[in-house]
Amino acid sequence: MKNAALQLNKVNPADIILEAAVNRFSEYGYNKTTMAEIAKDAGMSAANIYRYYKNKEEIAAACAKDCMCERLDILKSVIRDRNLTAAEKLEKYVLGTLHASQKMLSENKKIDEVVMEITKNRSDLVHNKINNENALITEIIAYGNQTGEFDVDDVIDTAAAIHSMLVLFDVPMFTHLFTKEEFEKKALSAVKLLITGLKKR
């Protein structure tokens, strides 16, 4: 009990700020949220919040980083299942990407504003996300080559091309366009076409 109490007292204020920001962004959107409101929701003074984050953009970037790391961990666990073939790994990757985007939108109806802010002002985070996801697709293709399932000469270039083709399933704002069932059907059709192109002839 004593250790649990000590742990509670060691909660990082920066994490409390991020949680308050995510809740506020989700309900009111990025543009209508102020630092003072985040501070109030976090239970601290406006002056204190600046000890941890210099502005709202920095808070949004930290929220995005956390979200990207969580998503990447999910995708890693999916594709590193040793019982899957390379084709199955690719299918799981695409569906995992789609489901992550749908989950983000269901949990935060105003996610588009944060995405736009990060894309516009923190392109380094976007490039890092792309590089990490390219690396996972590269891993899948290399595994397929190793098992004889795929026959790809330029694995890195092919992985980058595939990543570009999957944008429809990757960006939360696109999830408004179709129902979940329609999106899954499109995702599976895309995977089928990709696997046909990657397979050893």
Indicate whether 27 and 100 sit together in one domain: no
Indicate whether 102 and 177 sit together in one domain: yes
Q: For 42-66, what is each residue's pLDDT tens digit?
A: 999 988 999 999 999 999 999 888 8
> Which residues are CB-contacts of 135 (< 8 A; sequence separation ≥ 6)?
159
CA 98 vs CA 49, 81, 135, 184: distances in Å: 35, 19, 18, 8
Q: For 69-88, what is each residue's pLDDT tens digit?
A: 888 999 999 899 999 999 99
- Predicted TM-score (pTM) of the model is 0.86
Q: What is the extent of the structural domain holding 158?
A: 63-198
- Amino acid (1-letter code) at residue 139: E
Q: 99-117 b/e with 16+ CB inside 10 Å = b?
A: bbbbebbeebebbbbbbeb
Indicate whether 160 and 81 sit together in one domain: yes
CB atoms within 10 A of CB 177: 10
CATH number of the domain encompassing residue 106: 1.10.357.10
Indicate whether 93 and 114 sit together in one domain: yes
Q: What tokens were used for 162? A: 């595939």
Total domains, the chain:
2
